[in-house]
Amino acid sequence: MLWVDLTHEEVEKRPVEEALLYEYLGGRGVNAKLLWELTNKGLDPLSPENPLIFGTGTLGGTFAPCSGRMTITCKSPATHLYLKANVGSHFAPELKFAGYDFIVVLGRADHPVYLWIDDEKVEIRDAQHLWGMDTRMTDQLIKEELADDQIKVAMIGPAGENLVNFASIMASIYRTAARGGVGAVMGSKNLKAIAVRGTGDISVADPDQFMEAALAARRALREDEYCWTRSFKFGTAQGVIGSNEGGTLPHKNFQDGFIPDVYKISGEYVSEKFAHPEACSSCVFHCGRFARVRSGPYKGAYTAGPEYETLVSLGSKCDITDAAAIIKGNEICNLMGMDIVSAGSMVSFAMECNERGLLKGQDLGGLDLSWGNADAMLSLLEMMSCRKGIGDLLADGSRIAAGKIGHGAESFAVQANGLEQTGIDVRGSMSYALAFALNPRGPDHLTTECLAEFAYTPEVRQLAIEVSGSEKGVDSLSPEGKPKLVAWHEDIYSVSDCLGICVFTDTWSYTRINFENLATMFGTATGIPMSVDEIRNRGEKIVTLERAFNLREGRTCRDLDVLPPRMFEPSPSLKRGEATLTQEKLGQMLEEYYKLRGWNTKTGVPTAKKLQDLGLNFLKEKFVRE
Ligand code: SF4
């Protein structure tokens, strides 16, 4: 581990204890434990005391499939709750090749700096000349300055410097640790970038058995016709048409879950016209896109993506079906270092404010925020990143902006706990509804994606039935079986994040990456034997620890486990205007989920017995009152 104290300009190297790996597996799990230990209730997320923890997965840099992911953890300035943001690219393996699994950044530099990790040598360098630069320029200048184009850079753009509540950290100019304002925390530390070059090796405990397990997992994934062909051809954007058919594609700030002209923002269309695949380290799927606009008003735009979330956030949510404009918006967000989900949500929220007459001409500085106005969307993205004009208000996120705008704006700010909801209209999916309500960072998908609910192949349908315990578990509008399905997903996502394995392996191919091969790969790589039951127990343990962070803040589960008000209104695209999700239905699922987890069924607080079973006794004094 590298411990970096920016206030005192000190760097210390510490070993990763084997006991920590055994109990928390690595990456996300170890990050969660460190965050718990390093923080206290009520910490200001933008204060120097908020640690920013970069945790590579335990299998990062190895031959394990899709193992190039990294988790960044801190307290969120958007929600004032627990935050983890996960990101791919080649940054995490490079850090491992340099000899480090974790970087813990503490304090605040008195001027802009960047961290330069060159194998053994670690320096805090001046970054005043980089401050204000977009991410593409930052990446390029650092590589030129250090005379090595193989360096991998994680950095913020102007949005992070300006403490935009949804600023991201870009790991390379293509991949984003997006949500919850993780880039604002980096900006608050005056840390512009971390540059790393690693030339070492990774050793595993039992090379023969590890390679056998990793190769078997790779082959299994490659043999999965559905995920291999769909993900390689269309990336995450493969889901746009299906989501629209299911009534879960947000349209006009979630006023509806269906858009008529969907093909023009589909993965199929984007791949045909603009994009080709790219991938994170060690990936077998290659779900990433690289897109370039070659003609028309946005000619010259080039960027990673657009992903499903981009096409929804900058597209259907704003009633925009011009894929070239969406690619341009994608480029702006990546250059400025902004979470596309929240940035797009703010545009669609502002468009609805405009429709309702809550934001008028003088507020908007002449910007025409009519639905579908792509140029206005692009201008607003720039303005938010620089906090210019109306962009300053919107840069604080929809909870704060709606509170300031008033006149009922809170009712259509599609956020919960301060985080804008990702691009699934959960009125069409009860497992997503439950998963989003439970997610400790707010209503989004990267703690669990419940695609099993849609049972798109016979294999996945069988798994959904087994996990949920009910044939009805695959009926997306029924609450039956959903608590089990969500808990299963949460646990396997948690384990995957700890190992650095992309959760899309779980999402797209449930039966091929499973607790069994994850346990085998972990055990043979680390030399720490891990049974199937143990590894799932660790997954659950980490889910519980993350929840505990929020409970320590003095929040109660019933006020945490909520969804945006709009999700309880009828959706025009579903059941002809009848509400498909009610507070009662959500309450019923939550109660059943709490029971399943061994938590108090009324309060949702983990019981003392459960904490003991999970080896989390140290949490007890902080919130258990029984
Ligand atoms: S599936 Fe996509 S996000 Fe996951 S590791 Fe591969 S390229 Fe990266």
Q: How far is the CA of 49 from the centre of ligand 1 (A)?
A: 33
Distance CA 116, CA 94 (A): 13
For residue 501, report the distance from its CA to the centre of ligand 1, in Å. Answer: 9
Ligand 1 atom with minimal separation from the 278 CA: 7
Counting atoms of ligand 1 from 1, which one is nearest the CA of 508? 1
Compute, in angstroms, the gap from residue 546 CA to the centroid of ligand 1.
24
pLDDT of residue 454: 61
The letter for the amino acid at 431 is S
Helices then strands, each counted (H, E), the chain:
27, 17
pLDDT computed for residue 232 by the predictor: 75
CA-503 nearest atom, ligand 1: 4
Select from 91, 287, 307 the residue to mutate for testing ligand 1; criterion: most ligand atoms less than 8 Å from CB: 287
From 86, 286, 290, 497, give the residue whose CB has the most ligand 1 atoms within 8 Å, as the site to mutate: 286
Q: For residue range 309-363, list pLDDT tens digits in order.
A: 999 999 999 999 999 999 999 999 999 999 999 999 999 999 999 999 999 878 8
Write down the pLDDT at residue 363. Answer: 85
Of all residues in the chain, what percent carry a pLDDT higher than 70?
Answer: 93
Instruction: List, for residues 264-303, the tens digit of each pLDDT value.
Output: 999 999 989 998 888 888 888 888 889 999 999 999 999 9
The predicted-structure confidence for 389-417, as pLDDT tens digits, reads as follows 999 999 999 999 999 999 999 999 999 99
**Span 538-545, average pLDDT:** 97
| Residues 6 or more apart whose Cβ sits within 8 Å of residue 121 | none
Pocket lined around ligand 1, Cβ cut-off 6 Å: 66, 68, 88, 279-280, 283, 285-288, 502, 504
Per-residue pLDDT, 459: 62
Which of the 8 DSSP states describes residue 15?
P
The residue nearest atom 7 of ligand 1, judged by CA position, is: 279
The stretch 56-83 carries a mean pLDDT of 96
Among the atoms of ligand 1, which is closest to the Cα of residue 69?
5
Average pLDDT of the chain is 92
For the beta carbon of residue 320, count every other beta carbon within 10 angstroms. Answer: 27
Cα-to-centroid distance, 176 and ligand 1 (Å): 12
Domains of the chain, earliest start first:
2-197 (3.60.9.10), 230-413 (1.10.569.10), 426-623 (1.10.599.10)
Q: How far is the CA of 518 from the centre of ligand 1 (A)?
A: 17
Residue 2 pLDDT exceeds 90: yes
Give the tens place of pLDDT for each residue, 169-227: 999 888 999 999 999 999 999 999 999 999 999 999 999 999 999 999 999 888 876 66
Residues 6+ apart with CB under 8 A from 143: 149, 151, 153
Please, are residues 146 and 116 in contact by the beta-carbon 8 Å criterion?
A: yes
Give the atom of ligand 1 at the shortest distance from the alpha carbon of 68: 5
Q: Ligand 1, closest atom to CA 66?
A: 5
Q: Which two tokens stand for residue 237?
A: 């954007």
Q: If residue 2 lies in a helix (H) or strand (E), which one and from where to where?
A: strand 2-5
Q: Whose CA is nearest to atom 8 of ligand 1?
A: 280
CA of 288 to the centre of ligand 1 (A): 6
pLDDT of residue 211: 97
Atom nearest to 287 CA in ligand 1:
2
Percent of the chain whose predicted confidence (pLDDT) is above 90: 76
**206 — alpha (psi -120 to 50), left (phi > 0) or beta?**
beta
- 44 vs 624, more confident: 44
DSSP-assigned beta bridge partners for residue 13: 2
Which of 231, 280, 493, when mutated, tests ligand 1's pocket best, judged by the most ligand atoms within 8 Å of its CB? 280
| 567 pLDDT above the threshold of 90 | yes
